[in-house]
Each structure stands twice: as C-alpha cells, then as structure tokens.
Amino acid sequence: MVNRLYTAKMALMIGLGAVLYPSAAGAAANAPATAAAPAAVTEPAAAGAAAGTDLRVIPLRAVDNQGGQLELRGQAGQLQFRVPVEAGADVRDARLRLVYQTADAVVSERSRMWVYLNQQGIAQLPLTGGDDALRADIVLPPELLVPGQNQLSLWVQQENSRGCDADSSAALWTRLDPANSYIALETIHGGRDRTLAGLADPASFFGAGAERIELLTPAGRTGATLKAGALVAQGFSLRMPDSGIAVRHRTAEAGALAGRDGKVLIGTVEALRGLVAAFGDLDGVSGPHVALRGMPGAGPLLIVTGRNDAEVLAAASAFADPSAVLPAAADWEAAAVRQSERRTRPLQEPGRSYRFRELQTVSGGISNGTEARTGLELNLPADTLPAGGRKILLELDYTYAPNLSPNSVVNVLVNGRYASMVALNDPHGATVTKQRVLLPIDRLRPGTNTIAFEPMIGSDGSSGCLVRPGAGRSVAISGESVVTIPDMPRVASLPDLQLFASGGFPYTGVSDARSGPRREFDVVLTADDDATIGGAWTLLAKLARTAGHPIDNFTVGSASRYGGDVLMVGPAGALDDRIASRLPTVAGTVRDALRPALAPFDPASPFLPGLSSGLVAAPAAASTGASRGAIMAASVAEFRMVEQAIDWTAEMSREFREALWPDRYGRAASSLSAIDEGSALMTAFENPLRPEGTVTLVTAASGAAVEEGIAALVRPALWDRLSGGTVAWNPGTLAMQSWAAEESYRVGTLPDSWHQRILFVNALFARNPVAWTFLALAGLLVMTVLTQAALNRRQDS
C-alpha cells in the first residue's frame, strides 16, 4: 500500500511539473508516442515538493552521449546515457520509462533488451515486432546512483527470422521514442555551502539533464568579454565527459538570472554592478576573480570578473585550464595562479612502434558487440598523408577464456569502421603472443585516431545468433602489445574538414616543426545577436575538447583584417562581400538553398535575373490583362529555352569532369534533397586575401539556425562524419552531405628527400586511381612507341 501511495505521489509531482512546464507534458504523462518532446524540468518547492527536494524529468535524448537517433541496431547494439547526480545530493527515488518499438522481422523468443546502471543489471525487457510500441517503467535502485556521472546502458540481442547473415542483421533495429523515454530523478539536498571545487564535475552546477550551458554578458560587451566567454565555455567542456557540450548566450539583464539551473556571468565589476548588487563583497575585487554565489530562489551563479577587461580575460584563462585546482571556497583570486605551460597531446610519429601501455586508452563508447569496446588512441601529426598500400602492424598479446563458441571473434575497428578480426576458436582458451594483424593505412587520418577492439562472442547454434556472455570479460589484451605505424609523406594539404574535426588544425595553436609555428586566427561574427555568439562559443569549446587543451590564440569580433586563418560564424545573409564572392561553387549553391525561398517570379529573385528584368518592363507597355499574360508566357518560354541550352552544354563538361574526378566534381544539386531553410553549412577554403591562410565558415539562414546547427554538429553523431571541403546538415534529421575541396593548397614545405618524395607520389596515385590508370596507359604507349622504333631501326640495319 505504501509503495502505491508513493508511486501515486511521484506521478502527481510529474503531472504538476508538466502543468507548470507545458513543453514537458508529453513525457511526464502516460501520453501516446506522438506527444511533444519534454525539456529538462525542475519541480519547484511551491508545487508540492518538500523543502530541499528536487524532482527532475530528464529526456534520454538530453543525456545521450552521441547525439544521434536513439536506435539499437544489428544483432547486438548498445546505447549509453549519462545520469548526473549533484554533489552532496542523496537520491530518494529514480524511475526510468522506456517507450520502444522493434523491427517486424525480429524473433521474439530469442530477442531481448537488458538495462544496466553503472555496470549492474537492472532489468530484462522483451522485444516484439509489430506496429505497437511497448512501454516499460523501471525502478532504478537509488543506492547505485552516486554523485557525479552515472552510466545508464541499454543492450539488445536481436535475431532476424531470415537468419544470422550480415544483411539480416543490418535490417534489425529497436527504436526508442525520444518524446516519451525519460528518467524521473528525485533528490534531497542538505544544507550545504557550494564551493568552486565542486565545479570539477560541472554537471552538478548546471543541473541534471540541462542541454545547454548558459553564459551571460552585459550589453556593452567588448571583444575581450567575448573571448573570456569562449574561454569559460572551454573550461567547462574540458571538464565534462560529454564531448558535445552546447552553449547558450544571453544578454545579462533584469530577470535573466532566474531559474533553478546554474548560470555564468562574465564582465567587469562595474558592468555587473547593477546585476549583482546583492553581492557587495565583489566591490573588494582587486584583480582577476572567480566567485560562486547562491541566488535567492534561483540556482547557483558563477561570476568571472575583474576591474577591467584584461583582468576578466585573465580570470577566464585561469578557469579554462582543467589542470588548475579549484579551491574549496566560494572565491578564487585567479591572479595568484601560475599559468601552466601549453599542454598538448603527445604525437605518435610515423615510422615508429609504440606499446599499448604508452598510448592513451579509450574505453566505453557505443558497441555493437557482445561486450564493451576497448581501444587506444593514435595522434598523428597534422601534416601526415595516410594513403597508399602500406599497412599498420599490430602485434597482439592477449588471452581469452575457454568454452567460447568456435565462431567467436574480436573485430578490430579503425575510427569506428571495421578493418580486421581476430579469431577466438580454441575451445580450451589460449594465451597468444605476437599475433600479427594488418590494418589499411588509409583508414587513418591526420590528428586523433582510435583503434578499437570489439568482442563478438558467438553462439552454438541452438541458442540463436548471439548469446549474452557472463559477467566477466572474455578477452584481455595486454599492454605489451605493439602497434607499428608505417612511414608516410609529410605534407599538410588543406582545406580538410576531417583534419579540422580530428585535431582542430590549423586553429588549435599546436606547434609543429613541419606544419609551421603556432598560428593566430580571427573568429569573425557576421551578426551580434545572442544566438550567433552562443554558436561561436560552442564551436570553440568543441575545438578545445578536440585539441585536449584550452585555445587562446584568437581574437573575436565582427571585424577582421583577414591576415591569416579565419573562423567565421553567422547568418548567410550577412557575410562579408570579400568572402561571399570567393566561396567554393558548391558552397555557394548550398548557401542559396539555405536562404528563405522567394516567389518564383519575384523581380528580386537571385535565380531569375534576366527573366525578372523582362517582367518588370512588360506591364508598362501592356494595357490589358490578356496582353500581360501573353508577354509573361513568351518571356517564360524564351527563358526556358535559354536555360535548357545552358544546362545541356554544362552537362557535357560536367559529365566529363565527373567521370575523371568524381570526388572533386560531384554535383551538389543532386544531394540537396534533405537540405532546407533550417539546415546549416560548413565550408573551408584558402583565404582570398592571404595565401596559405584558411577560412572556415559556418552559416545558416538565421542566427537561431546557426546556434541549433552548431549544437547538433558538435555531437559525435555528426562531428565524426565531417570530411572534404564543404558539408551541409540538417540538425533535426541528422542528414549530412559532404563535397570534396575544389581547390587545395599545402601548408609547409614539400617532401625534402627522395624517400619522402616517393611516398608522396605513391599517396597521390593511391588517392587518385584514375590518374594512376592514365599514367599506366601513357607508360604503355611510350613503351610501345619506343619498342616499335627499336624494331624499325633493327630492321633497317
């Protein structure tokens, strides 16, 4: 009876939260699958919660580590979610609701879903194909939820009625309803004082399920204030396990500090005086200062301030360094902090061997195997060109358990793609040393790479396609295993958005003897609205996370000298003409597709300039509606004839170029079906005003679309797919198209030895097989001519 009453109370509290916050009503109630998506909701004390009690409804999509569709695909798929619990809080009750649907072809009696919390099994759920969605309400044991980051994992075993082959496995899926799958978390807060040391886990500051970090600056902000905000965002990003953190900027004004989640206020003491009048102790600030305060009736407030812009910037720089030890106090005199040396990730040089224990390990992550993925990280210099027929050599030392099915294997993945496998086919188990595994070099990329090992423990045929292994690990790979990286040509070729995504080059400021010294760059905002600023801060926070250290080698504002590298963010209609006129052709096409559509015969339409001029003059010469209609019909007919003629001649040259260089001259128009006014564009090209400088532009139809587009882009589901010179994506559907760079240029010197030159030529031909074919044919032609000439000469003699 007590449990029923308590459950009824929880339902009532969720319902009250839904009434107070209508956007969350669909998730908090027993609503159908088409209900509206919820936001992270906090139940205020006035709504019936006891003093010190906090109830939050956290959508699973808000705490998804990858940011993609909530799907578990294949015979064995996983999804992982982070469940943050505030430091000093006790979990009183936690409930998980899952609304899910499975593919029709699934074999119900051999398919199921497991729920794990911090590696502990919680529940086992059925999987049933059909049109009806299943709903599961699961009680999460409060004692398993600890302060900090907790991991909620879903794992499925699915079998297709058509069999266990690869095609049948690819057709399997279990999909969560993002609007109705959530966690309801009730916590009790004691009477404790917050300290800056608690920001080592920023989730406790922003609140469980908060999707954005909210940073506020005064209306009269300067370039130094904007840079300080970017550094603070980097500090939070480098301290959080989630690699896709997003920032929301707001102008600091009356009422902007309301709300239960934590906020950050950045500016000089004088600029903030009216907003934080209650904190008179800030009048004594004598240098760079970071303070943590509690707002009456609101959440915590982090203040980054100083007496002038230079001191504000110094305070933000100190906070940006994750190695700085935050004090167990509410105030921090950042001027007393010694600035640490620039920390960079160690590079693994081509042509050398490394033991696994010397490399950065990678654990967790989404796995499609029967056990969690483990792996290691390789950081190649930015000027490497991994291409050709050379191989990465792994010499593995590993042990695996006895009594595994003979079809058990360990898949080896390079940057998330299958590259090779290791068989586990000894029924007695084995200890293996120096097992050689060769991986193709073209799976690597400059910057950060991952080599992952994913166990796939097979079945004996009677229990289905896959079986869930025991609690222990089936395979253990030794740290004495060795990876040998083959030698590669050392030339940095730009633009390359994959290089930008994997290491932030050339913006991260990492010095490299070959690719040049530390480079300064400009962050140019094409608009000064809050959304554009928030989008730029989100992108800079992601770059810092990618580089592994704070980035401070930039200036930010609405103007630029374009003297080097430029990172430009903002609405498409406000681009500098010097940059807009030099956009790559495909980027210009996509930019036009992002703009709001005009009327077909609007005289202002940029697509019909010739036709528009004719239509403007026609009504003046005509006196009746019939004559105006005839003139319009004639104009349209003439325009279409000209357009068809131009298209026909263009098709001839376009098809010829695409046949020879399909990667470089791919058509943009055929790939824009998923791109609309809510989509975003990212393109990189050589600075038209400074040779060997790079301009990277992120734009959309409006500032709000820029902010939403970047917030989606920085999640791994899209970020890991960046490649080529231009990409366009839809943040709602996660559809992304990419196009190769139209014009490339090199940073640094060409290969300076014959060995490097041979590697360089080999890499170029490996990346351009058509050119290799033409060269081979040309060589055969030359040999034929020389042979014929030699035969003729011999016959004459």
Of 107-116, 440-449, 534-543, least confident by mean pLDDT is 440-449
Express each pLDDT in 732-768 by its tens digit. 888 888 888 888 887 655 566 766 667 777 766 666 6
Of the pLDDT bands very low, low, confident and very high (cuts 50, 70, 90), residue 364 is: low
pLDDT, position 490: 75
Express each pLDDT in 161-210 by its tens digit. 887 776 777 788 999 998 899 999 888 876 557 788 888 777 777 766 66
Mean predicted confidence (pLDDT) in 578-592 = 85
Express each pLDDT in 647-670 by its tens digit. 544 444 444 444 444 443 344 444
The DSSP bridge partners found for residue 354 are 483
End-to-end Cα spacing for the chain = 114
- CA dist 240 and 259 (Å) reads 22
Are 156 and 113 in contact, with CB atoms under 8 Å apart?
yes
Mean predicted confidence (pLDDT) in 380-398 = 84
Q: Quote the strand ranges of 312-390, DSSP E.
A: 331-333, 353-355, 360-363, 374-380
Q: Which amino acid is at 734?
A: L
Specify the long-range contacts of residues 733-740, CB closer than 8 Å, at least 24 apart.
Answer: 733/674, 734/68, 734/69, 735/674, 735/675, 737/668, 737/671, 737/672, 737/674, 737/675, 738/497, 739/586, 739/666, 739/668, 739/671, 740/663, 740/664, 740/666
CA-wise closest residue to 233 among 549, 540, 546: 540
- CA dist 555 and 224 (Å) reads 8
- CA dist 234 and 236 (Å) reads 5
Q: Which two tokens stand for residue 43?
A: 């139940």
- CA dist 371 and 374 (Å) reads 9
- CA dist 66 and 592 (Å) reads 30
What would you report as the CA-atom Rg of the chain, rounded to the nearest whole angstrom? 30
CA-wise closest residue to 139 among 99, 184, 177: 184
Of 91-95, 244-248, 596-600, 643-647, least confident by mean pLDDT is 596-600
pLDDT, position 568: 94
pLDDT of 82 over the 50 cut:
yes
Give residues with Cβ within 8 angstroms of 344, minimum separation 6.
Answer: 510, 547, 548, 549
Q: Quote the strand ranges of 190-228, DSSP E.
A: 213-217
Q: Which two tokens stand for residue 439?
A: 């991986």
Q: Quote the strand ranges of 473-547, DSSP E.
A: 475-477, 482-484, 492-494, 521-525
- Angle of helix 609-621 relative to helix 625-660, nearest 10 degrees, comes to 170
Handedness of CA 493, 499, 505, 506 (dihedral sign): positive
Of 32-46, 203-217, 491-505, least confident by mean pLDDT is 32-46
What is the helix (H) or strand (E) element at residue 184, kind and residue range? strand 182-189
Q: Which two tokens stand for residue 46?
A: 């006035």
Of the pLDDT bands very low, low, confident and very high (cuts 50, 70, 90), residue 472 is: low
Q: What angle do CA 590, 594, 597 make, to 5 degrees?
A: 120
pTM of the model: 0.73
pLDDT, position 190: 64
Task: Report the share of the chain in percent with pLDDT over 90.
Answer: 24
What backbone torsions phi and psi does residue 713 show, to the nearest 5 degrees? -65, -40
What's the chain's average pLDDT?
A: 76
